[in-house]
Structure 1
Amino acid sequence: MANQSIARQVLLWQLALVLLLVAAGSGVALHAVHRSGAQTARERALDVARTLARSPGLAEAAGSADPTARLQPMAETVRRENKVDFVVVMSVAGIRYTHPDPTRIGKTFLGHIDGAVHGRTTTETYTGTLGPSVRAVVPVLGPDGRPVALVSVGVTNRRVDALVGAEIPLVLTVAAGALALACAASMAVHHRLRRQTLGLGPVELRRVYEHHDAVLHAVREGLAVVDAEGRLVLANDEAVRLLALPADFEGRHVGALDLDESLAATLAAGRTVADQIHLCGTRALAVNVSPTGRDGRMVATFRDHTELRALVGELDQVRGFADALRASAHEAGNRLHTVVALVELGRGEEAIRFATGELAAAQDLADELTNAVSEPALAALLFGKHAQAAERGVQLTVTGGPSTDGPDADPLDALAARFDPRDLVTVLGNLVDNAIDAAVSAPPPRTVQVTVGVDPDAEGALLLRVADSGPGIDEPLTARVFERGWSTKEAYGSQGRGLGLALVRATVARHAGSVEVARGPGGGAVFTVRLPAAVPRPRSEEDA
């Protein structure tokens, strides 16, 4: 039985219990019918005996010279009409005046008559000449109130059993109907339970639960289940961490869990979603929602896109290096051909001046970047962005901002230990990309100015400022630029793609910093980021 499905085990237990209950109920019902039949026979015998004992002339006939001749016909008539088995009229000494069997007349009555002799009515079950019977003995009172005769009326047990037997088919019919209904209900429960448990047995169901629980808590992605009413019914540990869910989240509507409005609306909508980015606190989450196929429930997965964006930033850095190397290789090839041609033409001095001039220009750019930004990741990022900007006709310049004096005058040397370089790449890379796009959309001269330094007005906070020569951002739009789904490209006439600035805000907020946008002196946009030095950088998994 242990290998059978839970539904089948429940069905067998239900059927056994139903059979037991129906059998017990039928037994109780039959016992009640028998008791009722015996009680009915007793009451009938008592009523007939009382009626006959009070009949006019009965006392006179009992005291006549031949009481049998007068009482036997009366007694038999009463017996037949009332469907009793015997009506016996006797003397107070117990000598029968009447009996269904005439041969018994004149003989002593079998039974207890002491109570009736003293004027009391008695009932009993006694085995007499006709077998076991339920009988009543009633005194016949004379004019002086004293018993002058006795009347006994009885119903044999055979008649009682016959009365009970007539009720047995009804009892059995009711029992059979109850059994059929109970079996039908049990089968309905069996089919429903089989569907709900997928026909699995206890061992299989326990194994499925253990596997489900192990997988649920082992996956690195957040996973949650939302029912058709928008209530959160399940979430693994990673989902609780990413969404900052309270301990009592189960059964609560997603709109009441202090989630981002757009994220809550997506979870409650019941629609399929693929890799949609949502902000949750300081995190950018990639959300996927798909139906389970049962009861309108939806399964949602959450991936920390903030970490993915950091990896994308590193890829952008590598891509920037590749673009810079490609552009440098192209330019180097052209310059080399020029130098070779000058040598072949016999103009060696001009070839030397040309070559050294190009080397000086490249060295000046490298010196400019390393002097302004000594942090390797940022320097590499800006070197690549410089090449990208040059290819698009934009002049990108990098300067060191206001700094403190002393041995720690270089801002990034002092702050590199406090901030994750990947976060700095995310912030500065997105701001520079937006600035280049904005500058390209404006007429020449197209410029992007990047400032990296320490802000003395903000207690030594790291200052990142990116200004462009683009059309700028109108004042009414400045409150929306950091919303998910909005891009600076909206301000320049194209459709927004909407994540870069939202990630900037999320990253800055994680470091308890601030980010502002304003219109510069030339009309372009100026983004200013301040990251307080007093707040240690969040630990990454590699640091753990």
Structure 2
Amino acid sequence: MRLRTQLVLLQVVIVLVIVLTVGIAALWMQENQIREASQDRMIAVAQSVAQLPTVLEAYDDPDPSAVIQPIAELIRESSDVAYVVVTDDAGIRFSHTNPERIGEPVSTDPSVALSGQMFTGTETGTLGESWRVKVPVFGDDGDVMGQVSVGILESDLRADFLGDITVVLVALGAATVLGVVASTAIARLVRRRIYGLEPEEIRGLLETQEATLHGIREGLIAFDAEGRVSLCNDAAARLLDLASPDSAIGVAAGDLLDDDLAGLIDDARGDAVPQRLILSGERVLVARAAPVRVHGREVGTVVILMDRTELDHALQQLAGAQSLTEGLRAQQHEFANTLHTLGGLLELGETDAAMRMIQRNGDGGAITHLDAHDGIHDIEVAALLLAKRARARELGVALNVTADSYLPEADGGSADIVTVVGNLVDNALDAAGRGGSVTLRVIERDGAVEIVVDDDGPGIPADRRGRVFTLGYSTKGGSGQRGYGLTLVARVLERSGGTVSVSESAAGGARFAVLLPRPAVVSGRVSSGAA
């Protein structure tokens, strides 16, 4: 059954139930009102007759009915009641609509009225079933002399009720028709508001949207016009380090996001913001924000997030592998030339010269120098330094690791060291420039790693050293997004409880000294004889 039909039928049923309920209540109230009005009229008539002086005086006459009957009939006709019967204290009639009944005892029990009480109820008499009132007639001495009975036939009451019910039924019928028409119009309006879709189609769309939203790798987070989160997918929760997508719903942007990302949302009000790099926690994200408009009215902002940290890490690994490959290729040519030269010297009998050449080239070059002398046995950090040394050679910068550096091999716990060393060395290489030098010292002692990076670049003025860790701040020229490397270092140290200081190096450039707590790890054995 179509949604529109269901809505119409449901609303028609509701209208009918309401109309019937109201109609029954109205009819019941109408009947009660008719009976109450009739009862009030009968009581007034009966009491007025019982207190009429002429009637009271007639009780002492030899033939009371001669006086009471005309008066009773006159009052009955003018009061629109079925009968007015006056009796003595024995229940003998002094008046009746049928004069032949005068002088006869009443057909119903008169004991209540003759006892001095008023009676109200339905009884069947000589005229049929009637709604009647009986009141006592008191003499001057206060004794009961008789009763006055005034009644209205039940058939007359039903006739009055049926006359009024016609109007009520017409009103109820009109209300029913109006309700059905309104129900049809409402069903049409509802269907138009939901674009003519059936419930199954709406459910399918919502399920598809939900699955798509939480299935994409990019983070998507939407904010309403007041800046509160209205939608968040799984990827956004992961990138923003949230407990769950639902935990973000209803939270203000300023309370949930870093200042950099919250500022992006403010910039997007009114117009889309081109994608740019932002730092959220320890993640470098590519973010793009745009206003959300419905029928030309801006109702919020949507932000799309992509994780650049993973991409940068993969690119760095690729660049390191390419650098190593190029270095090995260069060393291959270098060793080939050396072997050719040695062969020629040996053919010439210049053994002394050949020995001197072997001694001069015996360290194997820059690629193997790290393993032979640097004391860096953590495989991840060693691989990082090999890649950085290859990059330093491309930049024309000498990257040296001090002889007292020592970092044992560990089964984990190196991610923070890699982040700190990698960013500090990159910063130093850029600062030193071609022909410069960078010195790295890494020592683990007492559960912490001391990292010192010196360069011979222009250095950092003392009044600017406190700002180098601020997001977006950079001493480097050129275009592009800068100022993230040192901010990442600061956030890693803040999370792990480490410290960093900036000072002037002995070479005249900048010195970054870091103390980084290292989690307890299982150290492997390193052989005393390095290859």
Q: Does TM, scored on the shorter chain, surpass 0.5?
A: yes
From the superposition, tell whether residues 38 and 54 of structure 1 become closer, same or farther in structure 2 (CA, over 3 Å).
same
Contact 1:402 1:455 in 2 (8 A): no
Specify the code of the residue in structure 2 equivalent to 1:483: T
Contact 2:452 2:511 in 1 (8 A): no
Residue 260 (structure 1) aligned with residue 258 (structure 2): yes
Aligned counterpart for 1:317 among listed residues 296, 315, 320: 320
Ranges in structure 1 where 5+ consecutive residues have no aligned partner: 344-348, 391-395, 404-409, 538-544
Residue 397 (structure 1) aligned with residue 395 (structure 2): no
What does 1:394-433 align with in structure 2 at a 5 Å threshold?
Answer: 396-403=397-404, 411=406, 414-415=408-409, 417-418=411-412, 420=414, 427-433=420-426
Aligned counterpart for 1:461 among listed residues 444, 449, 452: 449
Distance in structure 1 (CA, Å) of the matches to 2:146 and 2:518 = 124
| Deviations 1:366-421 (CA, angstroms, capped at 9, x unpaired) | 4655556566633542343234313xxxxx11222252xxxxxx735x2465455x
Report what 2:501 is aligned to: 516
Distance in structure 1 (CA, Å) of the matches to 2:160 and 2:490 = 93
Distance in structure 2 (CA, Å) of the matches to 1:28 and 1:40 = 18
Contact 2:450 2:513 in 1 (8 A): no
From the superposition, tell whether residues 63 and 210 of structure 1 become closer, same or farther in structure 2 (CA, over 3 Å).
same
Report what 1:155 is aligned to: 152
Larger RCO (alpha carbons 8 Å, 6+ apart): 1
Specify the code of the residue in structure 2 equivalent to 1:467: D
Aligned counterpart for 1:110 among listed residues 107, 112, 132: 107
SS of residue paired to 1:230 = coil
Aligned-residue CA RMSD (Å)? 4.7
From the superposition, tell whether residues 495 and 222 of structure 1 become closer, same or farther in structure 2 (CA, over 3 Å).
closer
Contact 2:112 2:118 in 1 (8 A): yes
| Deviations 1:66-99 (CA, angstroms, capped at 9, x unpaired) | 4444333322321233222222234444444433
Report what 2:440 is aligned to: 451
Contact 2:113 2:135 in 1 (8 A): yes
| Deviations 1:125-156 (CA, angstroms, capped at 9, x unpaired) | 12334433211222333344444443221122
Distance in structure 2 (CA, Å) of the matches to 1:26 and 1:228 = 48
- How many residue pairs match? The answer is 494
Residue 80 (structure 1) aligned with residue 67 (structure 2): no
| Deviations 1:51-73 (CA, angstroms, capped at 9, x unpaired) | 01110111223443444443333
Residue 141 (structure 1) aligned with residue 164 (structure 2): no
Distance in structure 1 (CA, Å) of the matches to 2:411 and 2:399 = 22
* Structure 1 residue 17 displacement after superposition: 3.4
* Structure 1 residue 211 displacement after superposition: 5.4
What does 1:321-336 align with in structure 2 at a 5 Å threshold?
Answer: none
Specify the code of the residue in structure 2 equivalent to 1:309: D
Report what 2:528 is aligned to: none
* Structure 1 residue 191 displacement after superposition: 5.1
Report what 2:473 is aligned to: 486
| Deviations 1:168-208 (CA, angstroms, capped at 9, x unpaired) | 36645775687657985897599569857985537963x66
Contact 2:425 2:453 in 1 (8 A): no
Report what 1:388 is aligned to: 394
Contact 1:133 1:156 in 2 (8 A): yes
Q: TM-score, normalised by structure 1?
A: 0.72
Report what 1:438 is aligned to: 431
From the superposition, tell whether residues 175 and 324 of structure 1 become closer, same or farther in structure 2 (CA, over 3 Å).
farther
What does 1:181-220 align with in structure 2 at a 5 Å threshold?
Answer: 184=182, 195=193, 199-201=197-199, 205=203
Report what 2:529 is aligned to: none
Contact 2:87 2:95 in 1 (8 A): yes
From the superposition, tell whether residues 127 and 147 of structure 1 become closer, same or farther in structure 2 (CA, over 3 Å).
same
SS of residue paired to 1:150 = strand
Aligned counterpart for 1:474 among listed residues 461, 471, 474: 461
Contact 1:59 1:149 in 2 (8 A): no
Distance in structure 2 (CA, Å) of the matches to 1:74 and 1:287 = 103
Distance in structure 2 (CA, Å) of the matches to 1:459 and 1:148 = 121
* Structure 1 residue 428 displacement after superposition: 4.6
| Deviations 1:283-335 (CA, angstroms, capped at 9, x unpaired) | 43444545665693555455444333311321332454577689x69xx89x9
Distance in structure 2 (CA, Å) of the matches to 1:121 and 1:176 = 42
Report what 1:503 is aligned to: 488
Specify the code of the residue in structure 2 equivalent to 1:122: F
Distance in structure 2 (CA, Å) of the matches to 1:536 and 1:263 = 36
Q: TM-score, normalised by structure 2?
A: 0.73
* Structure 1 residue 209 displacement after superposition: 6.0
Distance in structure 1 (CA, Å) of the matches to 2:388 and 2:478 = 27
* Structure 1 residue 34 displacement after superposition: 0.8
| Deviations 1:468-511 (CA, angstroms, capped at 9, x unpaired) | 42x3322232222222222232xx58776332332343455566
From the superposition, tell whether residues 9 and 254 of structure 1 become closer, same or farther in structure 2 (CA, over 3 Å).
farther
SS of residue paired to 1:57 = helix
